[in-house]
Amino acid sequence: MARRKKIYEGKAKIMYEGPEPGTMVQYFKDDATAFNAEKKAVIEGKGVLNNRLSEFFMTGLTQIGVPNHFIKRLNMREQLIRSVEIIPLEVIVRNFAAGSMCKRLGMSEGTPMPRPIVEFCYKDDALGDPLVSEEHIIAFGWASQQDLDDMISLALRVNDFMSGVMLAVGIKLVDFKIEIGRIWENDFHRLIVADEISPDSCRLWDIETGQKLDKDVFRRDLGNLTDAYTEVARRLGVLPTNVTHAPKPTLIN
């Protein structure tokens, strides 16, 4: 089969040139990485689930007027997206303490935040994506003050939407990361949500049991990652009919 031109290959996704200018095809791989890619594995079916879940969340965001890159899903592992100029920041929103915030501030996991906390990390694998302040962002020209205000507003809207959607299916949205991109319209740009929204980039805990249904299952060897993501997809009603391309039949629920 003729392949599209590859633009970029990341840890969990590959970007291909899209069919029209201003578009790209985003392919979801089964590769999982953690701890700045020190831990790696191929998790069969993860890419298919994340493609579906990101479609589900981005479509919901579009329906409530939060601009994002998603155009349409093409197949089990690929979606058509708008190409953007990615801002080199990870935008993290925290509702409860977990992960690096616990380490940095000595908080116990699960401590509720007084209000959602927005953090920025500079995207640089070699540096381990360090936490940066708004001062750094402006001084080093990664984004303008207006961009910063828009990023915070987008991140909080995504947080409200995602928290509500998850609460409805008995899941607590502990924290998540989004990436934001610029699209140019004549001489002006606006910011839209890009990359992906999936259990790879969120912390999701079952409200009743506290069971982790996100990438911490892989980070901490807590069980089968595909089972955890399948449970999230099942609760949201977005289970694909055939999770993998595995030759053997796969029981999915």
| Nearest residue (beta carbon) to ligand UDP | 99
> Is residue 93 within 8 Å of 175, Cβ to Cβ?
yes
- How far is residue 128's CA from residue 230's CA, in Å, rounded to a whole number? 29
* CB 248, min distance to ligand UDP, A: 31
- Tell me the two tokens of residue 56: 């589900």
Residue 60 or residue 199: which is nearer to ligand UDP going by CB?
199
Residues at the interface with ligand UDP (CB under 6 A): 90, 92, 98-101, 129, 175-177, 201-203, 215
Q: For ligand UDP, which is the closer residue by CB, 173 or 236?
A: 173
Instruction: Tell the smallest beta-carbon distance from residue 126 to ligand UDP (Å).
Output: 13
Whichever of 172 and 177 has its CB closer to ligand UDP, that residue is: 177
Q: The dihedral of CA 198, 245, 9, 224: what is its sign?
A: positive
Residues 6+ apart with CB under 8 A from 135: none
Among 178, 35, 171, smallest CA distance to 100 is for 35
- CB closer to ligand UDP, 100 vs 250: 100
Q: Alpha-carbon distance 134 to 221, whole Å?
A: 35
Shortest CB 242 distance to ligand UDP, Å: 27
Output the smallest distance, CB 44 to ligand UDP, in A.
21
